[in-house]
Structure 1
Amino acid sequence: MIRFFLISLLFVSSSVFSACDNLLDYSHQQLRSNEKIDLCERYSGKVLLIVNTASKCGFTPQFEQLEALYQRYRAEGLVVLGFPSDNFFQEYDSSEETAEVCYVNYGVTFPMFASSNVHGRDANPLFRQLSERSDTSVKWNFYKFLVARDGKHVEAFNSRSEPLGGALEQAIKRALSQDQ
């Protein structure tokens, strides 16, 4: 019985790790927290909208629509993940100020992570993978990457792509309708 349990556990563990296909095989620290989140463990099998954000950008008001998307589709499996970045010199140095913009000013409830690089050689591993898989490099704040449940299909949307009512929302609906 114990042998069967161990073999089953090994099979399940290897299935979880292979489900990420290296895209989500990454941990990142939450905004204003010491806790690191294993993206594979937490978000595997979900449709992900991964966004590089900045608190002092002309696109910062998109937080409202991103939150609305999250509220509208999270029961169907959508998770919005925000990654603040100062690559374009429009993010606060202080995580407290960044958190205030996100949580207080815009009422963000979707997961936000600690500031990191999302562009160039120093980009965090997740954004390097997103850029490779979508053949799109981040050129400004609020680039959006839609990741299918299988973690393999990645579609990129630039800063000007409004979260609600356009091509991005339609792509989210298609991704959510794919087999779970």
Structure 2
Amino acid sequence: MIRRVITLVAGLAAMPALAAEGFRFASIDGGEIDLDEWRGKPVLVVNTASLCGYAGQFDALQALHERFGDRALILAVPSDDFNQELADEAAVKEYCTLTFDLTLPMTEITHVKGKDAHPFYAWLRDKTGFVPGWNFNKVLIAPDGSIAGTFGAPVKPEGPQIAGRIEAMLE
């Protein structure tokens, strides 16, 4: 048991820090979302898809955005890598605004896996082996830039694994 705990602690200590310089996403509203501007704050990056069965999680992501305000970044990254996103950014923006009253930051439709993956996701894959296996996979970056966790679609944003960790990071 002690050996497992030591291995777990060593593994967590070895998690790579986020080299946020250069990780910019094209915003669905125009301009850029620069992760470097959020240095020192928690960042939750979620690959999303409007037509996915997990799209109900948009409500929870919006609630986190409202709850944490400018103390944490909740970033939706629409992707059609799993063939469940609308045809273009205008359709995504309209759907998410009308259906979920979404105001949280969103990127343009972005690749999250494969050879065309956004540099953030390519870096994440290269450093940790994590590649989104479906829509609504989540990556939590701690204020110190370390990767606090990666989560699959079933993990609810409002639960203790994500919202609870963000709250603890802000204390």
- State the TM bucket, normalised to the shorter chain: 0.7 to 0.9
Deviation at 1:24, TM superposition (A): 4.5
Cα drift, residue 170 of structure 1:
1.9
Q: Give the structure with higher Rg (CA).
A: 1
Q: How many residues align?
A: 155
1:102-117 correspondence to structure 2 within 5 Å = 102-117=96-111
Q: 1:61 to 1:36 in 2, by over 3 A?
A: same
Match of 1:170 among 161, 164, 170: 164
1:151 equivalenced with 2:145 (yes/no): yes
Displacement of 1:98 after TM fit? 0.4
After superposition, what is the alpha-carbon deviation per residue over 1:110-131, rounded to whole angstroms, capped at 9, x for unaligned? 1101011001222100112233
Residue type of the alignment partner of 1:74: G
CA contact (8 A) 1:24 1:39 kept: yes
Change (3 A) 1:154 1:132: farther
Residues 117 and 36 (structure 1), Cα distance of their counterparts in 2 relative to 1, 3 Å cut: same
Aligned positions of 1:49-128 closer than 5 A: 49-74=44-69, 77-128=71-122
- Report percent identity of matched pairs: 32
CA contact (8 A) 1:88 1:140 kept: yes
TM-score under structure 1 normalisation? 0.78
The change in CA–CA distance for 1:132 and 1:23 in structure 2 (over 3 A counts) is farther
Taking structure 2 as the reference length, the TM-score comes to 0.82
> How far apart in 1 are the matches of 2:147 and 2:158?
21
Structure 1 alignment gaps of length 5 or more:
1-19
Contact 1:131 1:138 in 2 (8 A): no
| CA shift for structure 1 position 52 | 0.3
Give the one of 38, 49, 66 matched to 2:34.
38
**Unaligned stretches of 5+ residues in structure 2:** 1-16
- Moved >6 Å (runs of 4+): none
- Range that drifts further, 116-125 or 137-146: 116-125
